[in-house]
Amino acid sequence: MTSRRSTALLALGLVLIAACTAPPPRVPMQRGHSPITGELRGSEFPTALSPLIVSTFEPTIPFAASNGKFIATYELNLRNMTSLMLTPTRVEVRSPAGVVLYTLDTAQIPPALALPSARSGVTGIGDGQIAMLFMTLEFATRAEIPDRLENRVTVTAPGFPPEGVTSKSVAVTVSDATVPVLGPPLVPGSGYIAADSCCDSVRHRRAGLSVDNGFWFAQRFAVDWEQLDARGRTVTGDDPDDPSDYTIYGKQAIAATDGTVVKVIDGLPDQEPGELPAGISLDKADGNSVIVAIEDGLYMLYAHMQAGSLRVEEGQRIARGDPIGLVGNSGNSSVPHLHFHVMDGASPVESEGVPYVIDSFTVTGQIASTQALDQLENTTQPLPVQPTPSDGAHRDQYPLDRVVVSFPRA
């Protein structure tokens, strides 16, 4: 399937995950004896062989979302240490006190499980393979989230007991970091679509990149901002092949908060909408783009803008609301949009994406599905927008995938 947009070479996503996984523990063996199976007994510290090694990545940083929940999302690395095909059958998350907070069953695991060749729909982990499990837990209040989330994964395979084998509990730390509160990244207006936002969309949330012997999720909380016109179309003109006929094209991107510009790329042409460009290099994937350093060692990325429209330069101090540039279709992009995300480093690929909230916006509905957005965003047809329980005014929340929002005037 052809993706419609990206800020990096998506073909690199989820490649060489093994670079981020610690080597498996060595199993003691005695010279001349058969390989050990089952449990090792007769020592002070009994242990058991593990067909599946589970490990974690970053701590999770909870954030307030536009559905009224507090979300903790994170990744688990699953490494098959056998020559068998392992089928995950249950995932269980508990609090440190042992309270079950969240479970996934056999039917719910595949949509959350990914391999380098497939970002979703994985049912088994083959001989020596490493898969990644994307976990998203929702809580009614921030106070309900414990300081650790204990994860256990059960797998089955030929010859295993009927109930399968369950991994040792692996804890994900829940960070108490303060989530940045930002303004909107675009001028006041209505019909803005938070396309490919966290946490169900696979394009950003699962766009891990293997770069310089490291593995990064810079786009973990990225949003591709598109826009509907008064008739519910992303293409306002009559030519979907012309970037300027798109509703979002030429809209002014603005500083979401005060900061210092640390990187500017300009001079790259708009792409023809409809498909991703072939052979684009990693350094040009973001197109005409701006990186802004903000408080607490964080950075904002604005990508895919029009050549010659950038209003800032490196080293410039900017204030919330200042113009950044005009929305375009440069770089690795197939539809005009503003890609925006916050990260913990100045590199748009060698950094970790961190959550943020927008201080004021109004939800006016949600695109019915990612499939509908894919099918209709490069056409002159209206997109199906459905009302949601979260319609209305929001403060200090993160806009979730496919919600349609209005940004008010200050």
Superfamily for the 10-22+46-173 domain: Immunoglobulins (2.60.40.10)
With contact defined as beta carbons under 8 Å apart, do 130 and 20 qualify?
no
Number of Cβ within a 10 Å radius of residue 360 = 15
* Cβ neighbours for 128, distance < 8 A, ≥ 6 positions apart: 80, 81, 83
**What is the structure's pLDDT at 117?**
86
Domain range 181-407, CATH class:
mainly beta
SS3 296: helix
Helix (H/G/I), strand (E/B), else coil: 82: coil
Q: How many CB atoms lie within 10 A of CB 310?
A: 22
Q: Quick check: 111 and 172 in contact, CB under 8 A?
A: no
112 φ, ψ (degrees, to nearest 5): -100, -5
Q: How far apart are CA 6 and CA 363, in angstroms?
A: 24
Q: Cβ-count burial of 161 within 10 angstroms (0-12 exposed, 13-18 middle, 19+ buried)?
A: exposed
Residue 186: beta bridge partners?
A: 253
Structural contact between residues 170 and 150, judged by C-beta atoms closer than 8 angstroms: yes
The strand pair at 392-394 and 181-182 is best described as unpaired
Residues in Cβ contact with 220 at an 8 Å cutoff, skipping those fewer than 6 apart = 73, 198, 204, 205, 341, 352, 353, 354, 355
SS3 89: strand
pTM: 0.88
**Tens digit of pLDDT at every position of the chain (410 positions):** 334 555 433 333 333 333 333 333 433 333 333 343 444 343 455 556 789 999 998 999 999 999 999 999 999 999 999 999 999 999 999 999 999 999 999 999 999 999 988 999 999 999 999 999 999 999 999 999 999 999 999 999 999 999 999 999 999 999 999 999 999 999 999 999 999 999 988 999 999 988 999 899 999 999 999 999 999 999 999 999 999 999 999 999 999 999 999 999 999 999 999 999 998 999 999 999 999 999 999 999 999 999 999 999 999 999 999 999 999 999 999 999 999 999 999 999 999 999 999 999 999 999 999 999 999 999 999 999 999 999 999 999 999 999 999 999 87
Strand partners, 25: none
* Measured distance CA(206)–CA(200) in Å, rounded: 9
Count of beta carbons in the 10 Å neighbourhood of residue 24: 10
Task: Assign 3-class secondary structure to 91-130.
Answer: EEEECCCCCEEEEECCCCCHHHEEECCECCCCCCECCCCE
Contacts of 67 (CB under 8 A, 6+ apart): 138, 389, 390, 400
| Strands, E assignment, 167-298 | 170-173, 181-182, 189-195, 209-211, 214-216, 223-227, 252-254, 259-265, 288-293
Q: What residue has token string 């204990």?
A: 150
Pair of tokens at residue 329:
């279709």
Q: Would you kindly state where each structural domain of the chain is located, as residue ranges? A: 10-22+46-173, 181-407
Torsion of Cα atoms, 282 then 287 then 288 then 294, to 10°: -60
